[in-house]
Chain A
Amino acid sequence: MPRRVKSVTANHDSLRRALGRSWWVLFPCFLVLVLRLTVERTCSDPYDLLPALASNPVWGWPIAIVYVTSHAWLLGVYLLTAASVDSLVPSRVAFRSMWRADYMKVLLMAGAFLLEYLPVTIWRLVGTALHCAG
């Protein structure tokens, strides 16, 4: 294997391992945050989320870091997979073969993102059904 290709593969492997390990810290924090935001969108003001926490810099900045880093994590997963198959739109098979044992981590994180990006209208309807929408 040429030296450059070898070093790129080694880089990708170490990045893949780093993403796999960081998931254990990032995912629980992100999931808790997303669930809390979902409750907020369902039952409170969907456009002023967690006002008491977010307006306090002691809480606001760490929350922002978790939120943005989780996006960066998923973006990293996509970019590594796309690079491995040299395609802008890697198939599900490509994700599965790239992430092997860590594939479930990718799916769980993607699930959390799905929850986060569902339209607010849906949560408002749920809130109305649960009689908690403010």
Chain B
Amino acid sequence: MSDAVLGGLEAFRIRFAGRPVLVFLGTLAVLLLARRAFTRRSLSRNWPAAAEMASSVAALVSLLAYPSIAIWYASDPHFFDNAEPVIPIVGWLFHTGSRVYHAVDAPERYAHIYGPYAFMAHGWFLGLVGPSIRASKALGAAVGLGSVAITYLVARRHARQSLAMVLTGLFALLLLQFRHYSFWTRPEPLQLVAVSSSLLLATMKTGSVAAVLSGAAMGVLWNLKITGPLYTLPVLALLQRHGGWRHSALAIAAAVAVAAFPFAYYANVSWFDYLVWLRLSGSTGLLLSTLRQNVEWALYLCLPLVISYYAVPRSLRPATSTWRNTLAALALGVTGIVIAASKPGAGPYHLLPFLPIIIYIVAWHLADLSPRTIVDVNAARACVAFVGTAVLIATAQEGQILATMKQRGALREAEDIVQFADSHPGVVAMGYGSTEALSLERPVLAFRYNSYLLDQPAIREYQLQGLGLPGATIRAIAECRVSYWLIPKGEAPFSGRNSYAAVLLQPLYPDEFRHAFEQAHSMVGTTRYYDVWQCHGASNR
């Protein structure tokens, strides 16, 4: 892809990727004008065919593109997002026996509000195959791809094979609108696979065992994020209608057991500390601009439900109480997430786990749809505009990944870091300058020394919550807990500033911290990408 095309896509992404309803209405208007100009007479006859063609082609391309992009991303040992490295790092620390959630006044600064399974999954996997960035990214990609396969099986509950394939392709297309969030190292791929599995199991006809297994999958979901139960409301509605209250009770009991397991079983997973971090995070309020974006995304992602409902003749539409309850539960869950995901740092990607459920309901609506029988011309038009919007936004989002990873892929920081660590005794850790891209390879060092003191994304969150760096952290710096800090070349150590609106541009590290660092360290050399700061201890200077 040429730089000019990528530049154009980036301009579109910045301006419109957060406004899907606006893009949808714009696309619809353009389509109507274009069709009116060229084929006035055959307009009403051609729209259903155009809708089927657009959906099928977009689905086919997405079914090829999604795995290609996921595997390509996983094969590159660089991260795109600065919040990705902490997941495999804390996962590995969990594997080696360190705490997943440290105390508020501990010297370490890496605790996040994701549930333990988000980290434990990586810990178990890295323990099995050996710790590396590629392995952690491979887990994200494998789980993301798994969710696509399971969503196909979910769609097959109602739809014939070809329709289920198209719906699965559209599911992949919708995932691609959220850049790499469905196959990165953070909890979203695990959420997708958990929700699609619980849905698949809830719609099985094998009775109590399926209900318990569905509940177990829900338990994983509940544990991954505190908002987990909201995603499972439609699944619980389905379970209740399929197997009565007994099945629902069994599923809920299994979910509670699975969700509570890490806290009950592992000494290094503290329920108390998890709650402390959650409470602190809840104190930050919300962003109204993010709330509006969430509302718009929720409306856009639910559009297929309305379009597919009116695409079939009235006599073929579902009208059972199961269907109504599932929709009501979905509406309730989406509403809750729209509000909860308005916290600073959250956003519309929190709606991702609803996608398998939406695909399931769309398959339900279209179950008896024969080819070329879309009855409502408006539904066909809306379908074309919806698919067009998804293609535009997904292309722009993937363009950004492509452009960024192309640059990052040319760097060889990991080799540089390993070469330095091999030739120097003592603990080497990744520090931060004014930018973050060169610090994304920090898992390499955390895997090597089984320790991790400072996670800048966590520090950024804590500052938003009004939590400064504790004395224990400053002491750990001054007392040489880390022998060598690698700071991105040419940048002042720990000079980053906060990007959250409420604390915008405030220094992430207080003067006291920076003073302690300068007192205890001096720059002793450089590598290809980093300045090396060695700790001599404050008392030795």
Contacts and interface: CB of A to CB of B under 8 A. Distances in A.
Interface of A: 4, 8, 37, 45-51, 54-57, 59-61, 63-65, 67-68, 71-72, 75, 79, 82, 86-89, 116
B289 A49 contact: yes
A45 B504 CA distance: 13
A91 B118 CA distance: 48
B482 interface: no
B291 A68 contact: yes
Interface stretch (B135-143, B270-278, B335-343): B335-343
Given A82-B310, A88-B379, A88-B382, A68 B286 contact: no
Main secondary structure of the interface of B (DSSP, over half): helix
A37 B288 CA distance: 9
Nearest to A56: B285
Contacts of A45: 501
B285 A55 contact: yes
B284 interface: yes
A79 B328 CA distance: 13
Nearest to B284: A55
Given A87-B310, A88-B382, A61 B502 contact: no
A47 B501 contact: yes
B329 to A, nearest CB: 15
A64 B286 contact: yes
B534 to A, nearest CB: 41
8 contacts: A8-B319, A48-B287, A51-B501, A55-B286, A64-B342, A68-B339, A79-B306, A86-B314
B122 to A, nearest CB: 31
A67 B415 CA distance: 51
Interface string B109-151: 0000000000000000000000000000000000000000000
Contacts of A57: 282-286
B82 interface: no
A15 to B, nearest CB: 12
Contacts of B299: 71, 75
Most buried by B among A37, A47, A68: A68
Contacts of B338: 68
Most buried by B among A55, A57, A67, A72: A55
Given A51-B501, A68-B338, A88-B376, A60 B295 contact: no
A87 B378 contact: yes
B378 A60 contact: no
Given A54-B286, A89-B378, 7 more contacts: A50-B288, A55-B286, A55-B502, A57-B285, A64-B286, A67-B291, A71-B295
A87 B376 contact: yes
Contacts of B378: 87-89
A45 B502 CA distance: 12
Nearest to B344: A55
Given A68-B335, A87-B376, A48 B295 contact: no
A57 B445 CA distance: 38
Contacts of B342: 64
B301 to A, nearest CB: 13
B26 to A, nearest CB: 12
Contact of B288 (A56, A63, A82): A63
A46 B299 CA distance: 22
B81 to A, nearest CB: 21
Nearest to A71: B295
B74 interface: no
A54 B285 contact: yes
